[in-house]
Structure 1
Amino acid sequence: MLGKKKRPPAEIPSSSMSDIAFLLLVFFLLVSNVDTDKGLGVVLPPPGDSEIKLNPKNITMVLVNSSGDVLFNDEVIQVDQIAIRARQLEAGNPNMVFSVQTDRKTKYQDYIDVVDQLIAANVKKLALIGTQ
């Protein structure tokens, strides 16, 4: 009887495993997207103490109360009507400034919805008033 030669057990070379793992890690980091929070794109005026005098006829007040109701020139309207009304007013008066003011307890989403409607109406002049 001829003796069978014993084969050594098969081995997987593990010396390059760490290199492959590192390359895979770098690949997935480069390929994956990291979501970043996006805020409102607002251009602030330069710092200074100068006040601009406006004609009261050129100011449209948009007030948002704590329950989310919108007053557009002292008239309660729905949020989806803001863009339509803003386009009409700006078509009649290109110098119109839309002043958005909120209550201290207004939900941030309600505020964003109002500003989004004004941006959708391509409003040229938008003033954001802080709560008082």
Structure 2
Amino acid sequence: MLLDKKRSREVEIPTASLADIAFLLLTFFLVTTSLDMDKGLQLTLPPRGDVRPIPRHNIAEVLINAAGEVALDGEEIRIQDIREVIRLRLAQNDRLIVSIKTDRETSYQHFMSVLDRVQMAFAGQPRISLAEPE
């Protein structure tokens, strides 16, 4: 008895609609994916054009240089001490305004460290002024 040898057929995968399916998947993921954009710092700034002279004794000027050294009203201070010093000054003067100025080369980490400590001293009261570059 002779067995007929059957020709083996190669299995083919239809690729005609592969591009359409890939495009639909790409479109689906683009539509359903939400991108989380950074919103920046959440600070309450005064309205534009609302400029009033502020007495010098009501301003605490914090300067941060490129090396991360901090000065409060011209005197060098450790970053760890800012919160307590601002809190003491705030107890003496409830109208205290803190102005933070940085060098162009100051790292973001140093700035945020100082800003966080100043905000902790104010216990959430938005009274921080960010100065424009001179």
TM (normalized to structure 1)? 0.71
Q: Tell me what 2:117 maps to.
A: 117
Assess if the C-alpha contact under 8 Å between 1:90 and 1:123 holds in 2.
no
Q: Tell me what 1:20 maps to.
A: 21
Q: Does 1:57 align with 2:57?
A: yes
Deviations along 1:37-74, whole A, 9 cap, x unmatched?
553334443332x5312233321121223432211133
Assess if the C-alpha contact under 8 Å between 1:70 and 1:79 holds in 2.
yes
Assess if the C-alpha contact under 8 Å between 1:68 and 1:106 holds in 2.
no
**How many pairs align?**
130
RMSD of aligned C-alpha atoms?
2.9
The structure-2 alpha-carbon separation of the partners of 1:31 and 1:91, relative to structure 1 and needing over 3 Å to count, comes to farther
Deviations along 1:79-124, whole A, 9 cap, x unmatched?
2322232233334433210012234x54142333322322333353
Q: Tell me what 1:95 maps to.
A: 95
* Counterpart-to-counterpart distance in 1, 2:5 and 2:105: 85
Which consecutive segments of 4 or more residues in structure 1 shift more than 6 A? none
Structure 1 unmatched ranges of 5 or more: none
The structure-2 alpha-carbon separation of the partners of 1:30 and 1:119, relative to structure 1 and needing over 3 Å to count, comes to farther
The correspondence of residues 24-43 of structure 1 with structure 2, limited to 5 A, is 24-29=25-30, 34=35, 36-43=37-44
* Counterpart-to-counterpart distance in 1, 2:11 and 2:105: 69
Q: Tell me what 2:106 maps to.
A: 107
Structure 2 unmatched ranges of 5 or more: none
Assess if the C-alpha contact under 8 Å between 1:61 and 1:100 holds in 2.
yes
Identity %: 35
- Kindly provide the amino acid, as one letter, of the partner of residue 20 in structure 2: D
- Kindly provide the amino acid, as one letter, of the partner of residue 115 in structure 2: V
Tell me the SS of whatever aligns to 1:100.
strand
Q: Displacement of 1:5 after TM fit?
A: 3.2
Tell me the SS of whatever aligns to 2:112.
helix
TM (normalized to structure 2)? 0.70
Q: Tell me what 2:46 maps to.
A: 45
Assess if the C-alpha contact under 8 Å between 1:70 and 1:78 holds in 2.
yes
